[in-house]
Structure 1
Amino acid sequence: MKNYKVLILFWSFLGSSLLAFSQATDFVSSNYEKSEYQIPMRDGIKLHTVVYTPKDQSKKYPFVMQRTPYSAGPYGEGKMKTLLGPSEKMMQDGYIFVYQDVRGRWMSEGEYDNMRPTVPVRKKGSKEIDESTDTFDSIEWLLKNINNHNGKFGQWGISYPGFYSAASLPFAHPALKAVSPQAPIGDFYFDDFHHNGAYFLSYWVATSVFGYQHDGPTDKPWYSMVNTGTKDAYQFFFFIVSLKNADQYYGEDNFFWTQLKENPDYNEFWQKRSIIPHLNDVKPAVMTVGGWFDAEDLYGPLTIYKTIEKNNPNTYNTLVMGPWSHGDWARESGQQQVSNIYFGDSISTWYQHHVEAEFFEHFLKGPADGKTNLPEAYVFDTGNKEWRMFDAWPPKEASERIYFPHANGKLNTQIPMGNESSTFVSDPSKPVPYSPDIKFNFTPRKYMADDQRFAARRPDVLVFETDVLEEDVTLAGEILAKLMVSTTETDADWIVKLVDVFPPDTPDHERVQQGTHLSNYHMMVRSEVIRGRYRENFSEPKPFVSGEKTSVPLQLQDVMHTFKKGHKIQIQIQSTWFPLIDRNPQKYVENIFKADDSDFIKATHKVYHDAENPTAIHVQVLK
């Protein structure tokens, strides 16, 4: 009966989706005209730009632009997008929508550069280029060559286009009034391909997308994805062992793979690609958007918002964090769910109508005085499953609380007594999986709220949990794990997971994954990794001294989650997380990308709970 209901829901959703698709297509062709241009930049390179202009010429419209490495198509006369702008609502409200292929991608000229460095100083008459200058030159041309506009520009984008939105902020064109970086990459060493020095193996297949130049403008893909020959990612990467064996799939012609291999540390190559240091003197209004379960870009939105807030106190700057995985807010699936956790209905549509559309309407069509009636921070409590509004993020009213793991598996606010420790053996030949599922993800998403019971029951995962909570505990803000550890070898990764343990009597809903129950479900709320060699400095790796007690600080990303009465708060600590991240040999080598297979060895790790310098989890709690 349950499967029958699911089938009915599926066909109902499919039918409504096809109808909506058809209606959106008809709306675009009936209400917009499309033109394509090659816009010259200051260095002579031309960028392919597609402009959709409302047919109704009775009023003037602002521009809303997206710059993308993923194609501004469809290309050619009569070929139209099915949906324009950030949402159907904005498409119906009426804007001049602009899509542009960034240089070196698709129909644009030039050479592509991943996270192209920002030129920090503008010299008059200089032909130096970056994404800011390309945005500036494009806006200048469009203002002069497109009719019936009101002189105002907005920009938005999700993921990589989110980075291009953030990159428009330094030295912004005066006409750029409102920018919404959504799931933006802030720094490629902390988003997507790396987290705190650990290489995210789960994005390895995406290296094809970003690693090849093309000979000139093209409307067809010039790259192909690796054929792994299996749907089992664990098995595929397990047999590769060292990353140097992956060279058989990516040769020297893949420039991004070469860059990854040759720059394992946070050196100048990565540092100059970060947009974070350039977010000064920001003039446009900014609304940064992210998802609490965004496995790809969670560092970016939080760090970009906080940096703009710190460096530009007079700039209109807001944050929206919802119960979404990567980009969920741009689509409507009816029920919002990540893994087995259901958060509510039509959350994305509510955001599109009452937050996103309001932001652009105010600054591009309205008074633009900053009185939007939107809060400083709209954040979703993923435990209580409700929106919260704050006048600052993290909330000013949140206070610090420290949880201490104990050798008996307890987690509480009492400082450990004596000199105890917890020990486990980390074996690279038997790494801890990051998910109970067997699949090959282009980029993973579901694991961010997955059931962690499979990991908690392994001997190489330490588990610490509170007693059953007698009242709600709301964590709101930053999390810092101050680990005190040692290893019998000279290198190690450290993974910390914050888990919400549900009560045994929690009922299932009809969309729970087959074979899983919410009874005693271990919901992952937040998780992060640090490559231990970077514990003191991401630019200067340092081996561990065998057996020496060592401090390893690990900053997890922010959280907004209520652990309800009757639940338990759990911390898991482990050293492998496969194949989400690559395996650490645990024998210190200069460059893990070039390690030999024989370098991968077992190690015994300790987590200390002594009275003087205990392992501690620092959180922010709302009373």
Structure 2
Amino acid sequence: MPLPRLLRAAVLFAAALLAPTLDLRAQRSAEKTEATVREQYTKREVRIPMRDGAHLFTAIYTPRDKSRTYPILLQRTPYSIHPYGEEAFPAHLGPSARFQQEGFIFVYQDVRGRMMSEGEFVNMRPQRAVSGAAVDESTDTYDTIAWLLEHAASNNGRVGQWGISYPGFYSAVGLLSGHPALKAVSPQAPIVDWFQGDDFHRNGALWLPHAFNFMTSFGKPRPVPTKAWPSTLDHGTSDGYEWFLRLGSTAATRQFTKDIAFWNEMMDHPTYDAFWQARNLRPQLKDVRPAVLTVGGWFDAENIYGALQVFQTIARQSPATDSRLVMGPWFHGGWERSKGDHLGPVQFGSATSDWFQSEVLFPFFMHHLKGAKEANLARATVFETGANRWHKLDAWPPRRAEPRALYLQPRGKLAFTAPPPEGGSDAFVSDPAKPVPFIEQVAIGMPREYMSADQRFAGRRTDVLVFQTEPLREDLTLAGPLRPELFVATTGTDADWVVKLIDVYPDDFRNPDFREGGDPWDRTPNPMGGYQQLVRGEVMRGKFRDSLEKPAPFVPGQPTRVAWSMNDVFHTFKKGHRVMVQVQSTWFPLMDRNPQVFMNINEAQPADYQKATHTVFHDAARPSHLGVGVYAEK
């Protein structure tokens, strides 16, 4: 056995021996932090009545110091306000330690129909303006705030709201409540549209493992209030690629979802019809009165779309609103759940989460809820990946982002110049039976590291087209949305088009934190040499190329334009790096497989999946390219 493996085995054996001690230390640490919360706060559990008679289960944590009054900081969640019981305290309160130390009245609420709250739960409940219902999440927010102002002791009459992911959606909906006491709201990674860009679909393509694994637990019926979280599906393996491939088809998921109402509703609505349109929050974001701080992460695998859309929609539809954006180098919720200094081997140069919490989020709420001096926040506080620095901008996308096009060229080249008249095309065979994996080691779910993962494994496949620049002679910064425009043809009647923007590191690149004699079984002098970092990747399901509502087939062999807008980036490709674009048609099991036959994919059977040859043109008449914004500070 080689020495490195012996060392690894020894370390793992020692860790196993120490596990009971480590568990005991973790338990004692949790007990200590819970004791700190208990020393500073009292806890009260109440059932707050809504206007239709339903009662929502709510926990109120109030500072023991009664010598002053405090603002209320509210979080409404479908994920449980555990721990339940007035004698049970959590390890921490609020978005960060500074909030708990400063003193707020922290309120956590199980939303209607979830966990211990009464009523019927509706996923992304449509607003009354859309559904005609008597209540929605904005009325529940209003009724909750009104009750708290009257019954929560020591409150100063001001309320703030925050939440990440689904609680981010409830925060965004809270903006619509109209309660005058709601002064500041921070929707963080909010869900906005589950068909076009968040969580479950991207331009109509189903984000299979994430949506399926989430809904088979979260979507289980809850006939009566409960404190118990539903069980999760046991896949019997950690190999997500093999498990979902053996499943055979998207339709086969229904064997596991007989009692999962929303999954079956999703399957019954394969286009952007009234069901999905009613769950699009953007049209409702008008006349927003509270101050807004929208937060997202450049490497958020779930809701980067929602964060950008909330900010941009408010800017367009409610221009008088005090609305600001923060985008950092974070995975989903990483600004609260990590230091924010790296994702996988990609380093960000500092503890970006600590900076955000202390210099942005805390001052935002302190100003609007406690009257502290104005935080002097920029309209857009954004982190530039690659260069690893923060920017304070007066707009997002930045005004100085010049529209340019990176053209696909013959022989795998990529350049800002248009291709020659005889540029030609490249073709590949897409086989749904052997789809391109989305990450080298495929887990059963959607690992957050895929958002910055090395793409060399994909570029070596024959069903992935690769185009790249020469090594850059100077830094190149791209800012804003990416806009692929492909001219394609297929032998089938449907096809998916995946475009990936990749930062190719030089072969001699060294990680900034590399040190000689570090990890005893990894002394490679340049562990990141040649790394192909995914910067952004998105898909357009081909049949939706002109409309998400009205899909249309391809005519076999006929050149066709496919164009769409990908999520924004703010990334610098450093001097000596290359810019790469990969084009492929499968990305499995991240997204469900396309049979490459025009049909309702949610009803496809294994026999429906067919091989097809896809062609991408790159000549003067059909110049496939990636639209970008090239940013220069001055």
1:560 matched to which residue of 2? 570
The answer as to 2:543 corresponding to 1:533 is yes
- Map of 2:216 onto structure 1: 208
Whole-angstrom distance in 2 between the partners of 1:331 and 1:212: 27
Q: CA deviation at 1:20?
A: 5.9
Aligned counterpart for 1:244 among listed residues 247, 251, 264: 251
Distance change (3 Å), C-alpha of 1:26 and 1:218: same
Query: Alpha-carbon deviation of 1:210?
Result: 3.3
Are 1:111 and 1:213, in contact at CA under 8 Å, matched by a contact in 2?
A: no
- Secondary structure of 1:167's partner? helix
Unpaired segments ≥5 residues, structure 1: none
Q: Kindly indicate whether residue 503 of structure 2 is the aligned counterpart of residue 493 of structure 1.
A: no
Offset at 1:449? 0.3
Query: After the TM superposition, which residues 52-451 of structure 1 pair with which residues of structure 2 at under 5 Å, given as runs?
Result: 52-120=61-129, 128-189=134-195, 190-203=197-210, 204-221=212-229, 223-251=230-258, 253-333=259-339, 336-366=341-371, 371-419=374-422, 420-441=424-445, 443-451=446-454
Q: CA deviation at 1:122?
A: 11
> By how many angstroms is 1:367 displaced?
5.6
Q: Can you list the C-alpha shifts for 1:257-303, whole angstroms capped at 9, x where unaligned? A: 11111011111101111111110000000000011000011100000
Contact kept, 8 Å, 2:439 with 2:453, in 1: the verdict is yes
Q: Is the 8 Å Cα contact of residues 217 and 233 (structure 2) preserved in structure 1?
A: no
Structure 1 stretch displaced more, 177-186 or 20-29: 20-29
Distance 1:432 1:121, change over 3 A: closer
Q: Could you tell me how far apart the structure 1 residues matched to 2:188 and 2:22 are?
A: 26
C-alpha distance in 2, partners of 1:617/1:13?
A: 50
How big is the shift at 1:96? 0.2
Change beyond 3 A, Cα 1:272–1:299: same
**1:16 Cα deviation (Å)?**
9.4
Contact 2:401 2:630 in 1 (8 A): yes
Picking from 471, 476, 493, the partner of 1:473 is 476
Amino acid at match of 1:363: H
Quote the offset at 1:201 in angstroms. Answer: 0.8
Per mean C-alpha deviation after superposition, the further-off stretch among 399-408 and 284-293 is 399-408
**Partner secondary structure for residue 564 of structure 2:** strand
1:619 equivalent in alignment to 2:623: no
C-alpha contact 2:248 2:606 (8 A) present in aligned 1: yes
TM (norm. structure 1) is 0.94
Letter in 1 for 2:382: V
Equivalent position SS for 1:345: coil
Cα distance in 1 for residues equivalent to 2:226 and 2:81: 12
The one-letter amino acid of 2:192's match is G
Give the structure-2-normalised TM-score: 0.93
Contact 1:336 1:345 in 2 (8 A): yes
CA distance, structure 1, for counterparts of residue 341 and residue 351 of structure 2 = 7
1:6 is displaced (CA, Å) by 9.8
- Write out per-residue CA displacement over residues 546-572 of structure 1, whole angstroms, 9 at most, x where no aligned residue: 011111112110001000000000000
1:492/1:17 CA distance change after superposition, 3 Å: same
Structure 1 counterpart of 2:505, which letter? F
The worse-fitting range, judged by mean Cα deviation, of 531-540 and 337-346 is 337-346
Give 1:212 deviation, angstroms: 2.3
Over the aligned positions, Cα root-mean-square deviation in angstroms equals 2.4
Q: 1:221-256: CA deviations, max 9, x gaps?
A: 2x32111111100000111121122222111x2101
Give the CA deviation at 1:37. Answer: 0.6
Instruction: Give distance in 2, aligned partners of 1:259 and 1:233.
Output: 24
Partner-residue secondary structure (3-state), 1:83: coil
Instruction: Provide the rounded CA distance (Å) in 1 between the counterparts of 2:337 and 2:131.
Output: 39
- Bigger mean CA offset, 85-94 vs 610-619: 610-619
Work out whether residues 160 and 185 of structure 1, in 8 Å CA contact, stay in contact via their aligned partners in 2.
yes
Q: 1:385 to 1:493 in 2, by over 3 A?
A: same
Identity %: 48
**One-letter amino acid of the counterpart of residue 45, structure 1:** A
CA distance in 1, matches of 2:288, 2:252: 45
Distance in 2, Cα, partners of 1:465 & 1:260: 38
Q: Secondary structure at the match of 2:209?
A: helix
SS at match of 1:403: strand
Equivalent-residue separation in structure 2 for 1:444 and 1:349 (angstroms) = 23
Distance 1:387 1:13, change over 3 A: farther
| DSSP-derived class of the 2:162 partner | strand
- How far off its partner does 1:19 sit? 7.2
CA distance in 1, matches of 2:124, 2:369: 28
Q: Give the aligned partner of residue 460 of structure 2.
A: 457
SS of aligned partner of 1:120: helix
* Structure 1 CA distance for aligned equivalents of residues 63 and 482 of structure 2: 47
The amino acid across from 2:300 in the alignment is D
Q: What amino acid maps onto 1:584 in structure 2?
A: N
- Quick check: 1:202–1:444 contact (8 Å CA) kept in 2? no
Matched, 1:605 2:614: yes
Counterpart-to-counterpart distance in 2, 1:472 and 1:526: 18
Consecutive unaligned residues in structure 2, runs of 5 or more: none
C-alpha change, 1:349 and 1:117, in structure 2 (3 Å) is: same
Q: Structure 1 CA distance, aligned partners of 2:28 and 2:607?
A: 57
What are the equivalent positions in structure 2 for 1:566-605 lying under 5 Å apart? 566-589=576-599, 591-605=600-614
- The CA distance in 1 between the partners of 2:369 and 2:25, in whole Å, is 32
Shift of 1:622: 1.1
Instruction: Kindly provide the amino acid, as one letter, of the partner of residue 535 in structure 2.
Output: V
**1:104·1:213 contact (CA, 8 Å) conserved in 2?**
no
Q: For 2:437 and 2:551, how far apart are their aligned partners in 1?
A: 26
Contact 1:401-1:619 within 8 A present in 2 as well? yes
Give the letter for the 1:165 counterpart: S
Q: Alpha-carbon deviation of 1:613?
A: 2.9
Amino acid in the other structure paired with 1:273 = R
User: Which stretch of the first structure deviates more once superposed, 431-440 or 201-210?
Assistant: 201-210
Residues 569-606 of structure 1 show CA distances to partners (whole Å, capped at 9, x for unaligned) of 000000000010010000111x1111121110100001
Counterparts of 1:16 and 1:558, CA distance in 2:
42
